[in-house]
Structure 1
Amino acid sequence: MKSARLGESQGCHDAADHISVLSDDLLHYILSYLHSAPAAAQTSVLSRRWRSVWKQIPDLIFLEDSSPDAVDAALAAHTTPTLDKLAVVVAKASGRVSAARVAAWLRFASRRDAQEAHVVLSCKEPPPSENEEEEEELEVPLLGSAVMLTANLVVTFRLRLPPAGSFAELRLLILTLAAVSGDDLSRVVSTQCPCLCVLKLAMLNLVGDLSIRSDSLRAISLRVVGKETQLEVTAPSLESFVVHSCSHRQVRITAPKLTEVEWDDAYDPDVHRLLHTGRHLHKLVVTQWSAMPPLLERFETADELSLHLAIPPVSLF
């Protein structure tokens, strides 16, 4: 009887562990569905066979419950020479993350030729005053193999962009909550990103004017970017242009293929100029700050028109 039970147990054990005989590539594929590097690392307790499997997964994803120390440890243990994706999201409970630490994560992505690099720091709100915290410089490395780069940081980080070299494969660039030189950003987008298609800037302290010339850009989104700066964009392939609450003293957009415009800000045709665009749009979204927004007069027709009323507060007493 004991022998029968032992055989029964052994059979169940063998059946349960059939997954371990799969190839590493298949196991990496299975672990990728966890969408979490810490969860993948926990599989190392299953058996000796599993101890190193997670260290070779192509995607390293750290959600908000991961601490910066856990991120550092996982990157140090990872063994494959290339990486598909590095995504780090740090929650408020993890405390402040230094610019040097974020730079190290981005350098890891650069050395592993990551196709995607995303760093999101939700650890703090913008400080109420400029003098509350000392600004830290964050050196952004070249990511020559990256197709996507997202940096959602904190306003006390000042980005130092590479002075030379190419983001050869970069298609999507998102920068949020940081300070950056207008000259540096202009140079990188215009001359170091030959394939860039989408540029999204949000709550960015833009120091100086931004001047972009790009044959590849198809979409630009600006949300609370710059303060009394000048914006000039020359992009023959640009199709979509979005502006939300930007205080540029002058805007000049040259985009003959422009088909979608979203403008949530005061529009002055003497200051905000859309040049060489057609008179017809596929989509026009306007926040109505006046009885007849001047932007409506710039275009004759639109397949889709969306108007948002901006009604000022009225005192009843």
Structure 2
Amino acid sequence: MADGGGYDLLTALPDDVLRLILARLPSTAEAARTSVLSRRWRSLWTNLPQLRFADVTDLARVAAVLRHHSAPIAAVLDLVAPRLQGKLLVDIITPGDQNSAAGIGSAIQIPTFEKATEITIRLLRGIGIRLPPPSGSQRDLGGAVSSEGCPSLRELRIRNADVVSNLAIRSESLRLVQLSRLQGIRQLTISAPALTELDLYACLLWGMPMVDIFVPALGTLRWVDFFRWTSVRFRAMPNVHTLAVFVMVYGYVSHSLPLLQYFTEARDISSNDKLLVEAVKDELPAIEILFLRLLTEGHTFGPCVFHLLRMSPSIRELKLQLEDHTEGRKVPCSSGCICYKPRDWETMNLRLVFLQKVEINNLSGAECQIYFVKRLLRWMPVLKTITLSFDPSVTVSEELSKELLSFSTPEICMEIYLHRDGARVKYSAAN
């Protein structure tokens, strides 16, 4: 802006103030356009601490920006590393198969952050994590995020990255660890005495990795993976109160086993696979919240859930997420199928004296599912609410809805949700 004499008032501002102005523009492209204003503005945008590319489809333009910027990603991180205190977010959204087109390498170099308390690294598949060349002692990713590299770190999140085959995290300070869709792990070791929340999603899908976990203070465990480990050790987890796991009721992978065999004595194993939790043979820890994602593939899940509930007498809340990927191609299993074991689930009674809330999603209306709901209601003397939701592709008859309501009692609030015209609606009995 100019005053009455035509003098540009912005010219008098320091460069740091001008960069603050540019940093508040919606995108890096708009900041770069200010280069045409004058020679003074030409290089200001190249020193911005943050680059934003909104709705970009031409990755060559992104590459050009990165070439002109005075501090590439690795250099920025190296500059920040010794000064950072608090949270760090590294969020790379360039698709991995387009890295070469964008002029970006296949790995992001991450230094160590000794004063960081929270680190989140979110990459897209195909981008790896690289550490700086060692100076004195070799350090891998596990060492970089462990106490030796980040002694103050309390929260660690890594998503969609290619990592080292032997990932060992040993930390005295970590409280939360979330690892999601990591490629390349063959051995996973986590030793964190103060850790209270562990979330592992699709990190051990391939091969037969070895797992060794020591987390005595753990309260919440979420684990979604195909359990095909050559060796697994869960040591000292007496305080777990929330457990969320993915279960193949009767796995379609040749090495997978029914849930029952993951929680029984080793002598019951009929293949070379090991137990999911070797330490748990008679009773789970004092679980209060149990969340099961059940891959049914046309099989009945009642016996498996019965077995878990029998081992979880302290459970207060149960959530079942049913998944079936066969899309109508399944052949119904026979009554002699292993997924019906233990057989006594049909006659034995449980007394789940703490269970007050139940939620079951993606019901198909199959006879075995309706029978399970009927049995479940008999096992819960203090149940307050049960929510039943049907799969969007299922047409639910009035008779079936009324049958489910008939299983309930006046003390229980039962809600049934159906899908009509693409919308999820609560069932209301016809007058």
- With normalisation by structure 1, the TM-score equals 0.64
Residues 177 and 204 in structure 1, CA contact (< 8 A), matched pair in contact too: yes
Which structure shows the bigger proportion of residues in strand conformation?
Answer: 1
**CA–CA separation in structure 2 for the residues paired with 1:159 and 1:201:** 17
Q: For 2:221 and 2:11, how far apart are their aligned partners in 1?
A: 51
Cα RMSD of the aligned pairs, angstroms, is 4.0
Inter-partner Cα distance in structure 2 for 1:285 and 1:204: 23
Of the three residues 206, 212, 224, the one matched with 2:190 is: 212
Aligned match of 2:209: 229
- 2:156 pairs with 141, 152, 172, which one? 172
Task: Work out the percentage of aligned pairs sharing the same amino acid.
Answer: 20
Q: Which amino acid aligns with 1:272?
A: L
Seen in structure 2, the aligned counterparts of structure 1 residues 62 and 253 have a Cα distance that, compared at 3 Å, is farther
d(CA) in 2 for partners of 1:169, 1:298:
38
Q: Identify if the C-alpha distance between structure 1 residues 112 and 156 changes in structure 2 by more than 3 Å, giving closer, same or farther.
A: closer
2:63 corresponds to = 69
Assess, with a 3 A threshold, how the Cα gap between structure 1 residues 296 and 148 changes in structure 2: closer, same or farther.
Answer: same
The within-5 A match list for 1:1-317 is 11=4, 27-34=18-25, 36-62=27-53, 65=56, 67=60, 69-75=63-69, 77-78=70-71, 105-106=73-74, 108-113=76-81, 115-124=88-97, 138=107, 140-144=109-113, 147-155=118-126, 157=128, 162-163=139-140, 166-170=149-153, 171-182=155-166, 185-186=167-168, 189-191=169-171, 195-226=173-204, 227=206, 228-249=208-229, 250=232, 252=234, 254-266=236-248, 267=259, 268-270=262-264, 271-273=275-277, 278-281=285-288, 283-288=289-294, 289=296, 290-291=301-302, 292-293=304-305, 294-311=307-324, 313=328, 314-315=330-331
* Structure whose alpha-carbon radius of gyration is higher: 2
Q: Do the aligned partners of residues 263 and 27 (structure 1) sit closer, same or farther apart at CA in structure 2, a change above 3 Å counting?
A: farther
- Equivalents in 2 of 1:215, 1:35: separation in Å? 44
Contact 1:190-1:213 at 8 Å conserved across structures? yes
Query: Could you tell me whether the CA contact under 8 Å between 2:197 and 2:218 is conserved in 1?
Result: yes
Determine if contact 1:261/1:285 at 8 Å carries over to the other structure: yes
* In 2, Cα distance between equivalents of 1:27 and 1:304: 55
Indicate the SS of the match to 2:202: strand
Contact 2:108-2:127 at 8 Å conserved across structures: no
Q: Distance in 1 between matches of 2:89 and 2:164?
A: 21
The amino acid that maps onto 1:172 is L
Q: Secondary structure at the match of 1:305?
A: strand
Alpha-carbon distance in structure 2 between the residues aligned to 1:218 and 1:36: 39
SS at match of 2:226: coil
Aligned to 1:287, the other structure's residue is in SS state: strand
Distance 1:203 1:116, change over 3 A: closer
Q: TM-score, normalised by structure 2?
A: 0.49
Deviation track 1:33-75 (CA, whole Å, cap 9, x = no partner) reads: 4464443333333445544543443333445625452353254
- Bigger mean CA offset, 248-257 vs 226-235: 248-257
Kept in 1, the 8 Å contact 2:110–2:129? The answer is no
Letter in 2 for 1:224: A
SS in 1 for 2:51: strand
Count of aligned residue pairs for this structure pair: 263
Shift of 1:169: 4.8
The alpha-carbon distance between structure 1 residues 43 and 246, as it changes in their structure 2 partners (threshold 3 A), is: farther
Please tell me whether the aligned partners of residues 174 and 200 of structure 1 are also in contact (alpha carbons under 8 angstroms): yes
SS of corresponding position for 1:211: strand
Which segments of 5 or more consecutive residues in structure 2 lack a partner in the other structure? 99-104, 132-137, 249-258, 265-274, 333-431
Give the partner amino acid of 2:119: M
**Structure with the greater relative contact order (CA < 8 A, sep ≥ 6): 1 or 2?**
1
The CA distance in 2 between the partners of 1:40 and 1:169, in whole Å, is 36
